[in-house]
Structures are given as structure tokens and as C-alpha cells.
Structure 1
Amino acid sequence: MKTTLHRIAFTALATAISTSALAEDPLRIGAATYGLQGEFMQLWSNALEAHPAVLSGDVEVTVFDGRYDALVQSNQFDSMITRQYDAILFVPIDADACVAPVIKASAAGIPVVGSNTRCNTDQLASFVGSDDVLAGQMVAQQVIDQIGDNGKVVVLEGPIGQSAQIDRGEGIDKVLAENPGIEVLERRTANWSRAEALSLMENWLTAHRDEIGGVIAQNDEMAIGAIQAIIASGRSPNDIAIAGVDGITDALKAVTQEQMATILQDATAQAQGALDVALARLGKADEVPLSDIWERYPELEWAGGEADTYNIPWTLVDQDNVAELLEQRQ
């Protein structure tokens, strides 16, 4: 089976890694993403390029495209184990199917640091991500704040079985339970896909006509797909409350046009933080981690890279900060 991968290696000077701690040859770290089709995981992967240890050439990162397939990810783990990678950063597509590959890597002495999405095992060295239950609560509340205590909504979910889909769904359900006047007309997965969400939304607009007052999307790609379907139907997205998660570029632009709401998930902090933790677990980092993300989020206690979980805070995107966030994206 062919494996899609992108090899990232740059040379520059990184002053914060102890020269005595690093080996002569660069550390080889695999980054197993669930898929690179959407912008968020592209941002996550690109952030590794900017990590000081990669820029210095002290670390060579290989980014694997899991193609949204648990079997593909498992095969990629087998390859990394055979090639004796020093550590693995893991963003799994399925919270249960990921367990066996992590156990294999751990048994081979390769630490696995989870990032972004969770794996249901205690064999991970650590996890660097964000609280997806809270994200679900925030995105549902944004829609309800716009439509009021009574209204009809549709819910677009991520890939069934991925931790973000499960946890964000839990958060959405919690808010819906607190608002019994909200009726859910439809709830389906669009697999984080803009195209799939567009198709679903077209069908829902046909079936429910003008009943839909809000769209609760578990990510921004699906929210943008819903907006495209709404515009194609002749309606205005400004007339329907739409909210998503991630803060991808198109979502930030849509916020400026008041077409949707979103919360920013910091891909850079998750990716670079995971690499910092991996270096610490390998005994290759100084007391102060290399990435500046720890300065941006002072509430995150570094704890020598030994903590079980590092939760990167969410940033609510609004008219006060969206221009700055878009400028940073450039």
C-alpha cells in the first residue's frame, strides 16, 4: 500500500536545544495525521515546519497523510516502527481503532504523543490538544444566542468515532438539553468535508424549506459548505445562525461578513506543543521548551513536558479580533 508523506527538513540555528542532549544525527519524528485534505490539518502540519528544532535540522519530521482511514494510519505506524522512528506525533481518525497502533509503538520503545484528537488508551506519553466538549458547548450556544430559546436547527457532525465528533457532540447535547425549546430537524455526519456538508444542506433546505433557523457545525469546513448551499438556494446566510469550530481562513473571512461565528483552535500550539513534549520525553529538551506557544498561553504549565494532558485554550472569534487573526494567517 502506498503511503502519502511529506518530508520536512530545514537547516538553521536553534539556540534553545542543549547541544549535548541532541545526537549527531537528527532525531526522526513521525507525524501521523488523520488526513490533509482540510485546512486545519494543513495548518497543523505546516506549523511543524516552523518549530525551532526542525528549522535547525536537529529534528527531521515526516508528516503522514492518513487519508481519513484508520487502516492506513495503522499501516503507517507499522512502517514507522520498522524504521525505528524516535517518536510519533499522532492525530487519530478513530478513538478506538488507534489503540492497537499506539500499543505496538509503545512496546517498541517509541513514545507516542497525541495531538488534536484523542485515542482511548493510557499508552500515550501525553496529549496536546483542546477541550472538545467545551467546543461543542460554545458552538451550540453561539447559535442559540442568535435564534433565541425557541427555534429549529440542523447539526453537522465530524467522522463518526473520532474523539472530536464524540466530545463536541457531547457538548452540543448538553446545551440542547438546557434549551428544550430548540428542535433538531436533522443531524448527520459530513466527515469534516465542505463538499459533503454542502450536499447535505442542499437536501435539508429542500426538505425543510424555511424552517431551518440555525446550523451547528462541528467544524468550519462543514459550516462553509452549509453557507454555500444556503447562498445557492437563494437565501442569505445572514438570515440563518451558523457556527463552526477551528477558525480556518474562510471562516474568519465569513465572520467579517457576519455570515457565521467560529472559535479558533490553535493548530500551531497543538503541533509545536506536541513536538516540544516529544523532545522532553526523549530527554532532548532543555528546561524551557523551544516553541513560543508556552509564552502565548502562560496558563499552560510546562511541567517539564511530563503532564498527561495539555489543553490549549479556545479563542472566541469576534469583530474585535478577527482582523488581527486574519493578518496572522498571512
Structure 2
Amino acid sequence: MKKMTKIALLTASMFLGSSVTQMALAAEKPVKIAILMYGMKAEFVQLMEKSAKEHPAVKSGDAVITVYDGRYDALVQNNQAETAIQTQTDAIIINPMDFEANIDVVTMANEANIPVIVTNARLNTDKMTAEVVSDDVLGGYMEAKAVLEKMNCEGNVVILEGPKGGSGEIQRGEGNEKAIAECGPDKIKILERKTANWSRAEALPLMENWLQKHQGKIDGVIAQNDEMALGAIEAIKAAGLNVKDFSIAGVDGVSDAIRAVKEGEMVSILQDANGQMQGSIDIALKAVLGENYEPQSEIWKQYAEQLQWNEGKDKTYSIPWTVVTSENADQLLKSRN
């Protein structure tokens, strides 16, 4: 009996030792994070990718990221999520193209017991691990308010919208409408509104057509991102008109928009790509590594008064907006070098 007990204890000890060793080895392995971006052409998304690579855990090798280019197609993103799951990623971060269609990514990740963090844009579900975003209704309101204040709440505007069906287009549109409504009935007329798909190249001919169609009647341009605002500015200049005769605003704080703010050509509401992406990586690492993980990004100190870590357990983390001004423009540009 004693002999059997010794054998059993020895076996248990060997098993326990093996388990501990395996756990230690697992802890030493870098955390694999798949980052699904809706598309990689725009500067803002490129800033997010740059921020991901500069996260302390990525730089130290404690986390390894794989960035996927969704090519502005929700189905492509869903397929990329399948690939990430099949290759045994530890966590997924998605910047979704479509408010509804990309819910499939959350569903698939949940079925595979993989934490999924939604960043930048939103999904129409609460089944994700968390979302690290900015309040797009507020952003749309702030940019429209800036346009309308310069117009003294009277005149005609055109609206350049984001891709139809995306949360940015939906929610910034709500913010645009709220600001317009505050001017009072019949004060602001929307001459045109159409998507330019976040693209400077698509906004340029669209604005050219509107300038021809509504000669001398457009007072303001509400562009739901900076790239489209910059396309509108190019069209105005190409038409031989003075940009400063128009009231123009966009969202994101991309580099060319910051320069345009310095020139007095537009207003830009900066969306913090670094805050959204590095915050998402910290939340992903917390979800994978557990209670002992402490956030490594500096964003939690940067926004200490507005953004609390709360042990990484919150469902929504809202990164604050910053209005780009002539006073902060140079510092914002310098931070990207």
C-alpha cells in the first residue's frame, strides 16, 4: 500500500511539475494579436498601425501583432477573422467597415473563446469583450458646430459622408443633424449630401460637381472626415475660388488637415489614433493575461482625468476628442515624427 502511495505521489508530482513547466512556457510565449483594419490607404489608419507597432508590449516582444488590410470590404474582414482564428491568435482587434455585417467577427471570436476588441468604429452588438472608440455623435456635432458658427447659423451647406452603413457615417451624421437643428428651423439648408467613402480622391470630383451645380450658393462644407474635407478644399482652389470664403470642417486630425488649420482653411477635430489603438492593445493583453496585467501605454496617464483604466474591465473606453488649433498644430505634427 505504501509502495503504491509513493508511486502515486511520484506520478502526481511529475504531472504537477510538467503542468507548471507548461504554464511557465506558455507565459513566456508572446501574445498573438490579430488587428483587422477596414483598409490601409488613409493616413489615419496608417497612424493606427504605427501606434500598434510602438506599443511597449509589441516593442519588447511580449506581444506580436499581425495587421490585416480589409480593403474596405466587410466580407473580407470577416474572412480575415476566420484566418486569424484558424491560426490560433490569442486576441482580435477589429476596426470594422460595417456596423452590422462585421458583427460576424464578434460571433466567431466568441465561439472560439478569443477576446475581441472593437476599435475606432462601432458594431451594433454588445457581445464584444470591449470597445475602445471616440464618441462619433459628439465628433460630428463638434465639426458641424464649427462650420455653422462661422456661418452665423445661416446659409447653405453640403455634407460629405463616410461609407454608407458604417458607424462613422451613421453617428457623425447624427451629430451633424443635431448641430444643424440647433440653428433653428429653416436657418440652414442642406444642398447636397453624399458619400465620398472617406476618400480625398472621391471628394474632389464630387465637390467640383456641386460647385458647378450651386454656383455661389455653398457657404459651408461639413466633411465627416479630414480626407474628404481636403478633397473639397482642392476642388475649391481648382475652381479659382478663395477657400477662406467657405466654412469647412472635418474629423481625424490627419497631418495635411493640421497644416490646413494653420493656414486658416478649415477646422479639424482630432481623433486620437494612438489612444484608440494602444488602448485596444492594453485591453486585449488584459483579456489574455488576466488580473495581474497592468496597462503599458502612456495614454492612461495622458488622459488620466477623462479616461480610467478600471482594471481593464469596462465595456466601453471613450478616447477624448481634441480640437486642432493654430496653437497646438505644431506640437501635434511634431509628435508624429
* Superposed pair shares fold, TM > 0.5: yes
Q: Structure 1: how far apart are the matches of 2:307 and 2:158?
A: 35
Shift of 1:22: 6.8
Secondary structure at the counterpart of residue 23 of structure 1: helix
Are residue 212 (structure 1) and residue 224 (structure 2) matched? no
**Aligned twin of 2:80:** 76
Give CA-to-partner distance per residue, 1:72-130, whole Å, 9 cap, x none: 00110110111111000010000100112210111101110010001111211000010
**Aligned twin of 2:62:** 58
Q: Give, as a single letter, the amino acid of the residue that structure 2 aligns with 1:86.
A: D
- Summarize the alignment of residues 105-184 of structure 1 with structure 2, pairs less than 5 Å apart: 105-179=109-183, 180=185, 181-184=187-190
- Percent identity between matched residues is 51
In the alignment, is the contact (CA less than 8 A) between 1:22 and 1:284 conserved in 2? no
Q: Structure 2: how far apart are the matches of 1:278 and 1:29?
A: 8
**Aligned twin of 2:195:** 189
**Aligned twin of 1:260:** 266
In the alignment, is the contact (CA less than 8 A) between 2:286 and 2:294 conserved in 1? no
CA pair 81-265 structure 1, distance change in 2 beyond 3 A: same
Q: Structure 2: how far apart are the matches of 1:20 and 1:213?
A: 64
Q: Give, as a single letter, the amino acid of the residue that structure 1 aligns with 2:325.
A: D
Q: Structure 1: how far apart are the matches of 2:307 and 2:230?
A: 31
**Aligned twin of 1:315:** 322
**Aligned twin of 1:226:** 232
CA pair 20-210 structure 1, distance change in 2 beyond 3 A: farther
Query: Of the two, which has the highest radius of gyration?
Result: 2
In the alignment, is the contact (CA less than 8 A) between 2:37 and 2:68 conserved in 1? yes
TM-score (norm 2): 0.90
CA pair 98-202 structure 1, distance change in 2 beyond 3 A: same
Q: Give 4+ residue runs of structure 1 displaced > 3 Å after superposition.
A: 19-22, 284-288
**Aligned twin of 1:303:** 310
Match of 2:297 among 291, 297, 314: 291
Match of 2:93 among 79, 89, 104: 89
Secondary structure at the counterpart of residue 289 of structure 1: coil
Shift of 1:284: 5.0
CA pair 292-152 structure 1, distance change in 2 beyond 3 A: same
Shift of 1:217: 0.4
Shift of 1:198: 0.4
Q: Structure 2: how far apart are the matches of 1:20 and 1:83?
A: 22
**Aligned twin of 2:107:** 103
C-alpha RMSD of the superposition: 1.4
Q: Give, as a single letter, the amino acid of the residue that structure 2 aligns with 1:70.
A: A
CA pair 228-235 structure 1, distance change in 2 beyond 3 A: same
Aligned residues: 312
Q: Give, as a single letter, the amino acid of the residue that structure 1 aligns with 2:322.
A: T
Q: Give, as a single letter, the amino acid of the residue that structure 2 aligns with 1:60.
A: V
Q: Structure 2: how far apart are the matches of 1:135 and 1:178?
A: 16
CA pair 59-202 structure 1, distance change in 2 beyond 3 A: same
